Amino acid sequence: MLTLTRPRRQALVTLALFAFTVLPTVYVGFTAWRINRPGHVRDVEVEIGRSIGLQVTLDSVRYPRPGEVVYVGMVLRQDEPRRGGLTEIARAKSVRLRKIGRDLTLETDGLSLRAASPRQAMAQIGELLGGAGQGEYRQISLAAQSCTVDLGLGASKPFVLELHDVAAAFQNDARVPTLAASYRLLDNGSSTRCEVALARDRKGEGIETTVTLKTMESMPLPARVFDAFFDSDAWLGAKARVLGALTLKQVGQGDWQAEFGGELIDVDLKTLFDKRFPRHRMTGLAHLAIKDARWANRPGQGFGWVSAEGEFSTGAGTIGTELLQALSQEMRFKPSFKLTTKYPELAFSSLGFSFNLGPNGDIQLGGGFRSQFAPDDILVLNDRPLMKAPGGTANVRGLLKTLFPASAEAMAPVTADSQLISRYLPLPPDIANRPGQRLGGN
């Protein structure tokens, strides 16, 4: 048995003193030297970039307490082979990172995201999610008091959204990784809470990506959120608003399918007709309630609207007499009085109708006043019905002939707008597969 003599006790005390005081001091000193040396920030950039597959630059790194890191002046760039270089996709004034077990929390200040287009944004997100299921973290949460999203549609009309109170969570599931976020979109002093969810289902033969965007509460959104898909001002007017849910779905690398249900509010009919259908006149603010509208592949016609069902209504306004005549001749609407071109426009108190667009281009139309007037009344002046819904079924061919008048011998005029409608609305079977077919009336 070892006898603890005085010299041995002194040696043990010296070793303990060295282990519990000198070594930690040396470690702290070495750590301080390592994180403050010029090359440390570059090492951190390389480490983060390797883990997320992006090029990372930082101004500085701080370590306030164990398990917490603050990255200052962070910029993320993605390789763009077509452009022959790196493209910035995100930056933040600071990112505070906390680790708790297998959960990672990020708090950002001055966050901004950007992409060259909405399609590129989806491709970037898909690439980032491509490595899901790897790494040590089960869930990654992000909080941002404010966030700027720039989808870069062009200098003439940039698509920039200002988001506030952003809370997002990524579930790092190898089979079905999901990203969900809640945020408030500010516009002219009002805010609307919205939610977006993205999931990539890898269980089938092809990866299925689903994106859902919803308005949840408060004021409707400005219709400019649709600028990612079309020029909302030119079609709906500058004051139009929207509520509802949009779901986008993609299988593999195929084109996106879409479903929409919701409301378009204060659509400016004067703007719509002046810019898109100049042969006709119509004024008023419209409310379009869409029960369901689906965008998908149509055999022989490509991608476009497969079906749409809803109701259309306006308050007081005016409608051109030529438009009323075209609705009567091409769409089978039934006027309650003799139409005459003596007066170019007719005032009305309200207009309302229901519609159901089918995959073969058929359009079922009905009255929109429920109990106040007859079931088939669609246009009224005070208590006097002016026009009734068609007795039979109309179709897209008649709609084209109505909106773009032409002679009886000629097809509808070929314009950018007429092509847009004929390309993206379902056509009747007899002309769906015949490019250049004359579009006669019903």
270 and 247 co-located in one domain: no
192 and 332 co-located in one domain: no
Single-letter residue type at 396? V
Q: What is the CB neighbour count within 10 angstroms for residue 196?
A: 15
pLDDT in tens, 404-440: 876 444 445 556 666 667 778 887 766 555 544 444 4
245 and 311 co-located in one domain: no
Q: Which residues contact 143 (CB under 8 A, 6 or more apart)?
A: 105, 106, 107, 108, 166, 167, 168
Give the separation between CA 356 and CA 291, rounded to whole angstroms.
Answer: 10
Among 196, 180, 96, CA closest to 139? 180
Residue 268: pLDDT above 80? yes
At 440, phi and psi to the nearest 5? -80, 180
- The answer as to whether 374 is a domain residue is yes
At 110, phi and psi to the nearest 5? 65, 40
- The answer as to whether 18 is a domain residue is no
- The answer as to whether 247 is a domain residue is yes
Among 377, 367, 346, 329, CA closest to 282? 346
274 and 242 co-located in one domain: no
Pairing outcome for strands 139-150 and 111-114: parallel
Rg for the chain (alpha carbons), in Å? 31
Give the separation between CA 330 and CA 55, rounded to whole angstroms.
Answer: 59
The domain boundary residue, chosen from 193, 226, 254: 254
pLDDT in tens, 350-406: 999 999 999 888 999 998 887 778 889 999 988 888 899 987 888 888 888 888 876
Contacts 24+ apart (CB under 8 A), 376-384: 376/334, 378/333, 378/351, 378/352, 378/353, 379/319, 379/348, 379/350, 379/351, 380/348, 380/349, 380/350, 380/351, 381/346, 381/347, 381/348, 381/349, 382/349, 384/336
- The answer as to whether 105 is a domain residue is yes
pTM: 0.78
Residue 128's domain comprises 101-254
The domain boundary residue, chosen from 219, 254, 289: 254
Residue linked to tokens 């773009």: 404
120 and 244 co-located in one domain: yes
425 and 292 co-located in one domain: yes
278 and 408 co-located in one domain: yes
203 and 272 co-located in one domain: no
Residue 314: pLDDT above 90? yes
Which helix or strand (DSSP H or E) is residue 185 part of?
A: strand 178-187
pLDDT in tens, 39-86: 778 888 888 888 777 889 999 998 888 888 999 999 998 877 666 678
Q: Please tell me the predicted confidence (pLDDT) of residue 32.
A: 45
269 and 167 co-located in one domain: no
410 and 358 co-located in one domain: yes
Give the separation between CA 213 and CA 198, rounded to whole angstroms.
Answer: 9
328 and 351 co-located in one domain: yes
Query: What residues form DSSP beta bridges with 112?
Result: 91, 148
Residue 285 and residue 254 in contact, taking contact as beta carbons nearer than 8 Å: no
- The answer as to whether 15 is a domain residue is no
Number of independent structural domains in the chain: 2
The domain boundary residue, chosen from 227, 254, 281: 254
pLDDT in tens, 98-157: 988 888 899 999 999 988 777 777 776 766 666 555 667 788 899 999 999 888 755 456
- The answer as to whether 343 is a domain residue is yes
Single-letter residue type at 100? I
- The answer as to whether 406 is a domain residue is yes
267 and 312 co-located in one domain: yes
